[in-house]
Chains A and B, each alone.
Chain A
C-alpha cells in the first residue's frame, strides 16, 4: 500500500517527541477520522533550530509528520511558511489517494506552530495551543465521494453515482 520512503519514515520516524519550553506549538486534529498531530518548534535567529512532533494516526500520518520535520528543520521562518502539503507528499514520493488528507494535517500543524511563535513574539498569549478543528476536504482541494471516490461539488449532500447520502466532510 505504501511506498518504501513512506514505510521508512513510518517505521523509523525522525524527530519524535516534545520540546520543553517550545517557542511555538501547533496542534491539528481531524474530527472525521480522529487523527491528531502536534508540532513543537524551537526558533533561533529566525531559523528553526529544533522541531519535534507527536502524532496519533495512521502510517501515513506518522510518515508525513516525520518527513515534515526533516524538511522544516534548519529552515528560516519565511522558508518554512512556504512548505506546502504537496511538498511533503512529494518528498514521500507519493501517498495513496485516500491518504492525501493526512499530508494536509502536517503542513497545517507546522503553519500553526509558526503562527503561534509569531503571536508569542508579538505578545499575544494563549492558554491553549492553537488548534484547528475544521476539516472539510478529506482529499486535498477537490471533493470526492467517500464511498465511490467520484469527484463531487463542494456542497454536495448526495452522491448520484453511488446513491449515498453525504455528511459535510468529503
Chain B
C-alpha cells in the first residue's frame, strides 16, 4: 500500500518534469564544467542556466550571488561559519533565536567552542522573534544575525523585513534559513533585505542532495570547502551537475506555479484546521496564521503521544511526522515546542502535518477520519485521559 504523504516537510516527490530534466542531463554525458574545451563549456552553460533560474526565483540581482551546495544543511553551515570566520576581526558575537534548526544551532555551538559568543533570543507564544530584541542584542562586536525565515516544526514565519532594517542600519550581516520557504511562499531577497539566504531544492520538488546559498554581492563569507575555484571561488569541488540542473528546472516550475501552489496548499490546510473540531477535541494548534507557511500545521493532541499516533496512521496508509521526544534520537522534547511554552506532556502529543501538491481534499478527509479513530484508541489506553 502506498502511503499518502502528509510529511512533505521531510520529503517532497520530485516533479515529473524535473525527473525528465535529470534523465536528459544524465544522457547528455556532461563533461567537467571547469574544463576549457567545448564539452566543459556546455556543462558550464547548463550550470549557469540553472543558476539564473534559482536567482530569478528569489529575485537575486545577479546569478553570481547563488552558490550551489549539497542542500540546506551545507548552505546554513557555509553561511554561518563562513561569515563568522571572514569577519572575526570585527567581532565575535552572533545573534540568533531559540527555535532555529539544528544546522544553525550546532554550527553556532561549533563556533562557540572556537571563541565566538552567541546570544540566542526567546520567541513569543506564537513562535516569533521580536525585532526589538534583536536591536537590543546587537553590540559593536556583533558580526552576524541568523534568524530562520520559517520554522520547520511550526511553520511560523519570522518578521525578516523588520529585522533586516535593523541589521542594515547597524551594518551587521543577516542570514536567514529559508530552507522550508523557498518555492512555497514568495521569497524576494530585495524585499527581505537579507545578505545570506539558505535554500534546498527538495522544498520545491527538486531532488534532495542539492541546495543553494544566496550571498549578496559585497558580503564577506569564507568558503566552507576549500579547493578549486568552482562556484565563483565560493565552493570548491566538481559540481553536482545533475542535481544542479534539476534544481534549476524545479526553480523554473516553482516560479511559474507559485500562486497555484499557495492556493492549493492553503485550501488543504484550512480544510484540515476548520474541520478538525468535528473529529477530535482537546488539542493545541501551534501554527499561527497569518504568519505561517501555507503547507504546514503543528498540533499537540492532549493525553496521547505522537509516535504512537504516527505508527497507527502508518498502518492506515498515512505518512506524518511527530515532534514527540520518543521519536527523536535524543529522546528530548523539541526545543522549538518548549520555547513556545508547551509542557513536556503536550509536546509529546505533537504532530506535524505538511501538505503537498500531490494531496487532495479527499486525502485530508480520509486523514481526519483515521486520526479520530487513532486518537480515541490511544486515549483509552492513556492514564492522563479522564472521560
- The chain A residues found within 8 Å of chain B, CB to CB, are 2, 7, 10-11, 13, 16, 27, 31-38, 54-62, 98-99, 101-102, 138, 146-147, 149, 163-164
Contacts and interface: CB of A to CB of B under 8 A. Distances in A.
B345 A54 contact: no
A13 B381 contact: yes
B332 A146 contact: yes
Interface string B366-382: 00000000000000111
Given A58-B326, A146-B332, A16 B347 contact: no
Which 10 A-B pairs rank lowest in CB-CB distance, beginning with the nearest? A58-B326, A54-B383, A33-B325, A34-B344, A58-B307, A146-B330, A38-B383, A34-B348, A56-B382, A59-B311
Given A31-B344, A59-B307, A37 B331 contact: no
A10 B331 contact: no
A57 B331 contact: no
Given A10-B311, A35-B348, A98-B331, A58 B324 contact: yes
A35 B326 contact: yes
Contacts of B329: 98, 146-147, 149
B204 interface: no
Contacts of B348: 33-35, 56-57
Interface string B276-312: 0000000000000000000000000001110110011
Contacts of A138: 331
A56 B384 contact: yes
Contacts of A36: 345, 383-384
Interface in B318-370: 324-327, 329-333, 343-345, 347-348
Interface of B: 109-110, 113, 303-305, 307-308, 311-312, 315, 324-327, 329-333, 343-345, 347-348, 380-384
Given A56-B304, A61-B326, 7 more contacts: A33-B331, A34-B345, A37-B383, A58-B327, A163-B109, A163-B110, A164-B109
Contact of A146 (B109, B308, B326, B331): B331
Contacts of B381: 13, 16, 54-56, 62
Chain A, interface SS category: mixed
Contacts of B330: 146-147
A33 B348 CA distance: 7
A32 B380 CA distance: 23
B325 A32 contact: yes
A34 B325 contact: yes
B308 A58 contact: yes
Nearest to A55: B381
